[in-house]
Amino acid sequence: MNLTELAFKYRKTLFVILALLLINGVYAYFTMPAQEDPSITIREAIVTTAYPGMAPERVEQLITKKLEEEIRKIPEVKKLTSSSSTGLSIIHVKIYDRYFNLDAIWQDVRNKVLEAQRRLPEGTRTPMVNDEFGDVSVITLALTADGFDMAAMHEMAKHIRDSLYGVEGTKKIDLLGQQEQRIYLQASNARLAQLGISPQSLIGELQNQNIISPGGQVDTGTRSFIIEPSGNFNSLSEIADTHITIPGSGEFIALKDVVEIRRGLQDPPEKPAYFNGEPAIFFAIAMLPGYNILEYAPRMTNKIREIESSLPIGYQLDIATYQAEQVEKTVNNVSISVLQTLAIVLVVVVLFLGVRTGLIVGTIVPMVMLASLTIMQFMDIKLERMSLATLIIALGLLVDNGIVLAEDFKRRLEQGEERFKAMCLSGRELALPLLSSSATTVLFFLPLMLADHVAGEYTRSISLVILITLLTSWVLALCITPVLCYFFIRVKTRGDSDKPIRHWALHDKYAQFLTWVLAHKALFMGALVLVFVVCVMGIRQLPKQFFPNSDRTQVLINIDLPSGTSARATNRQMQEVFAWLDQDRFNDVIESYSGYVGFSGPRFVLSLNPEDPAENKGFIVLNTHPGQNLNALTLKLNNELERQFPNLVARVKKMFLGPSDSSTIKIQVKGPDKEVIYNKAQQVMALLQQIPDTLDIRSDWENRITKVEVRVDQHRARRAGVTSQDIANALQGYFSGLTITEFREQDEIIPIMLRAEDAERSNLDRLRTRNVYSHSTGRAVPLFQVAEFAPVNQYAIIHREDMFRTVSVEARNIKLSAEDLQRQIDADIQALAADLPVNHSIEYDGAITESAAAQRALSASMPMVLGLILVLLIAQFNAYRPALVIVLTIPLSFIGAVIGLFVMQAPFGFMVSLGLYSLAGIIINNAIVLIDRINLEKQEGKSDYQAVIDACLMRVRPIAMTTITTIMGLMPLIIGKDPLFYGMASAIAFGLGIGTLMTLGVVPVLYTVFYRIKRD
Segment 83-107, tens digit of pLDDT: 999 989 999 999 988 888 888 999 9
φ and ψ at residue 732, rounded to 5 degrees: -60, 120
Residue 789's SS3 state is strand
Each residue of 157-171: pLDDT tens digit? 999 999 999 999 999
Who wins on pLDDT, 805 or 394? 805
What sections of 56-102 are H helices per DSSP? Answer: 56-59, 65-71
Distance (Å, whole) CA 780 – CA 767? 14
More confident residue, 50 or 201: 50
Contact 74, 100 (CB under 8 A): no
CA torsion, ordered 648, 652, 656, 661, to nearest 10 deg: -40
Domains with residue ranges and CATH for the chain: 1-31+354-492 (1.20.1640.10), 43-133 (3.30.70.1430), 181-268+705-795 (3.30.2090.10), 508-541+879-1015 (1.20.1640.10), 551-655 (3.30.70.1430)
> What is residue 494's predicted lDDT score, i.e. its pLDDT?
43
Would the pLDDT of 495 be above 50?
no
The whole-angstrom separation of Cα 595 and Cα 557 is 9
What confidence tier does 493 reach under pLDDT thresholds 50, 70, 90?
very low
Amino acid at residue number 98? R
| pLDDT the model gives residue 215 | 67
pLDDT tens digits, one per residue of 586-605: 888 999 999 999 999 998 88
Q: Are 293 and 287 in contact (CB under 8 A)?
A: yes
When pLDDT is averaged across residues 245-254 and rounded to a whole number, the result is 80
Q: How many CB atoms lie within 10 A of CB 421?
A: 10
**759 CB neighbour count, 10 Å cutoff:** 10
* pLDDT reading at 499 higher than 70: no
494 burial (CB, 10 Å; 0-12 / 13-18 / 19+) is: exposed
Alpha helices in 268-322 (DSSP H): 293-309
pLDDT higher than threshold 50 for residue 81: yes
Question: Taken in order 254, 258, 261, 267, is the CA torsion positive or negative?
Answer: negative
pLDDT (mean) for 603-622: 88
Flag whether pLDDT at 37 surpasses 80.
Answer: no
Task: Return the percentage of the chain with pLDDT > 90, whole number.
Answer: 30
- pLDDT at position 214, please? 67
- For the ranges 126-130, 664-668, 826-830, 886-890, the lowest mean pLDDT is seen at 886-890
Query: How much of the chain is in helix, strand and coil states, percent to nearest 5?
Result: 55, 20, 25
Cα–Cα nearest to 750, from 759, 762, 742: 742
For 434: left if phi > 0, alpha if psi spans -120 to 50, otherwise beta; the answer is alpha
- In 10 A of CB 342, how many CB atoms? 19
932: left (phi over 0), alpha (psi -120 to 50) or beta: alpha
Confidence bin at 505 (pLDDT 50/70/90): low
SS3 35: coil
Quick check: 950 pLDDT over 90? no
pLDDT of residue 92: 94
496 band by pLDDT with thresholds 50, 70 and 90: very low
Residue-level pLDDT at 619: 95
Could you give the CA distance from residue 847 to residue 810 in angstroms, rounded to a whole number? Answer: 11
Q: Could you read off the pLDDT of 833-886 as tens digits, one per residue?
A: 998 999 999 999 988 888 888 888 888 888 888 888 889 888 888 889 988 988
From the list 450, 434, 438, 435, the residue with the least C-alpha distance to 864 is 450
What is the pTM assigned to this prediction? 0.84
**Closest CA relative to residue 188, chosen from 734, 765, 741:** 734
Q: Which residues of 9-46 are buried (b: 16+ CB within 10 A; e: fewer)?
A: eebeebeeebeebbebbeebbeebbbbbbbbbebbbbe
Which amino acid is residue 133, in one-letter code? F
Q: Write out 128-139 in H/E/C secondary structure.
A: EEECCCCCCEEE
**219 pLDDT tier (thresholds 50, 70, 90):** confident
CB 85 within 8 A of CB 702: no
Q: What is the pLDDT of residue 221?
A: 77
Name the residue among 275, 946, 220, 187 with its Cα closest to residue 595: 275
In the three-class reduction of DSSP (H, G, I as helix; E, B as strand; rest coil), residue 624 is classed as strand
Output the pLDDT for position 385: 79
Averaged pLDDT, 779-791: 87
The residue type found at 669 is V
pLDDT over 80 at 504, yes or no: no
Residue 691, classed as helix, strand or coil, is: coil
Confidence (pLDDT) at 957: 80
| Average pLDDT over the chain, rounded to an integer | 86
If pLDDT is split at 50, 70 and 90, which confidence band does 689 have? very high
Can you say whether residue 191 is alpha, beta or left, with left for phi > 0 and alpha for psi between -120 and 50 degrees?
alpha
Task: Cite the DSSP H helix spans in 664-778.
Answer: 674-689, 714-720, 724-731, 758-761
- Band the pLDDT of 622: cuts 50, 70, 90: very high
Q: What is the pLDDT of residue 1?
A: 62
pLDDT band at 315 (very low <50, low <70, confident <90, very high): very high
What is the share, in percent, of the chain residues with pLDDT greater than 70?
A: 98
Q: Which of 62-76, 599-613, 733-747 has the lowest mean pLDDT?
A: 733-747
Q: Over 50: is that where the pLDDT of 620 sits?
A: yes
Would you list the DSSP string of 56-67? HHHHIIIIIHHH
Cα–Cα distance between 840 and 678 in angstroms, integer? 11
Query: In 3-state terms, what secondary structure has residue 917?
Result: helix
Give mean pLDDT, residues 444-461: 80
DSSP 783: G
Top-confidence range, 284-298, 381-395, 410-424, 450-464: 284-298
Identify the DSSP state of 550. Answer: P
